[in-house]
Chains A and B, each alone.
Chain A
Amino acid sequence: EADIYQTPRYLVIGTGKKITLECSQTMGHDKMYWYQQDPGMELHLIHYSYGVNSTEKGDLSSESTVSRIRTEHFPLTLESARPSHTSQYLCASSDPGTGRNTIYFGEGSWLTVV
């Protein structure tokens, strides 16, 4: 079934650890995004990609990095996690053919850094 998948859904890790949040979509979308959302707060775009080998920073500065080696895969990495990185991370993708910026979201990854 065409969808967008995020793993892990929940992660608790210690300070200084390296983590990668996985995101995969089976909809064939070129554009993919990472949003960060603290509980009860706004969604902020932290990274986006137009396609393979394309990555751009969003409107909120983030210490995380992303890569886009395959169309369907857009992982987000934190080299050294800190408590300030505790948040929900939402992956999304869009297809211009269905209407500009109709964005489809994954279920989110809740990250807690202790």
Chain B
Amino acid sequence: AQRVTQPEKLLSVFKGAPVELKCNYSYSGSPELFWYVQYSRQRLQLLLRHISRESIKGFTADLNKGETSFHLKKPFAQEEDSAMYYCALSNNAGNMLTFGGGTRLMVKP
């Protein structure tokens, strides 16, 4: 069974501070990991995926297979980063995306 854990329900930081949203997973196959974001009054949308190795809105995430983690990081948080962030894992067949419980990021001025 595949499982995604986001240990923090709420993360509050000041503007300009570094941010790390934690994500751990368990999966017996080769995982494909994603981060989804939901801004206030908007729909859930893809932020980034590990296979792309991209930086989106200053966020990056590195897949660490040894620690089974896919933490989301940003060196300097902005107020507009305040949102709900969900880590997600896709199975090998690509037909099931399992989400973590989500972390609410609040960036204070």
- Identify the A interface with B (CB < 8 A): 31, 33, 35, 40-45, 48, 50, 56, 58-59, 90, 96, 99-108
A99 B43 Cβ-Cβ under 8 A: no
By size class, the interface of chain B is: 20 to 34
Return 7 A-B CB contacts under 8 Å, by A number: A33-B97, A43-B86, A90-B44, A101-B90, A104-B45, A105-B44, A105-B45
A42 B43 Cβ-Cβ under 8 A: no
Set of chain A residues within 8 Å of B43, measured between Cβ atoms: 105-108
B97 A101 Cβ-Cβ under 8 A: yes
Which one, B9, B34, B46, B97, contacts A45 given CB within 8 A?
B97
Highest count of chain B CB atoms <10 Å: which of A45, A59, A101, A107: A101
A100 B86 Cβ-Cβ under 8 A: no
Set of chain A residues within 8 Å of B98, measured between Cβ atoms: 45, 59
A42 CA / B100 CA spacing, docked (Å): 6
A35 CA / B43 CA spacing, docked (Å): 13
A96 B94 Cβ-Cβ under 8 A: yes
The chain A residue sitting closest to B89, CB to CB, is: A101
A44 CA / B96 CA spacing, docked (Å): 10
Q: Known: A42-B100, A105-B44, A108-B43. Is A31-B49 also a contact (CB below 8 A)?
A: no
A42 B101 Cβ-Cβ under 8 A: yes
Which one, B9, B45, B51, contacts A40 given CB within 8 A?
B9
Which one, B9, B46, B100, contacts A102 given CB within 8 A?
B46
For residue B41, give the distance in angstroms from its CB to the closest CB of chain A: 9
A105 CA / B43 CA spacing, docked (Å): 7
Highest count of chain B CB atoms <10 Å: which of A35, A96, A103: A103
Set of chain B residues within 8 Å of A45, measured between Cβ atoms: 96-98
For residue B58, give the distance in angstroms from its CB to the closest CB of chain A: 21
B99 A99 Cβ-Cβ under 8 A: no
The chain A residue sitting closest to B104, CB to CB, is: A40
Which one, A58, A100, A104, A105, contacts B90 given CB within 8 A?
A100
B102 A42 Cβ-Cβ under 8 A: yes
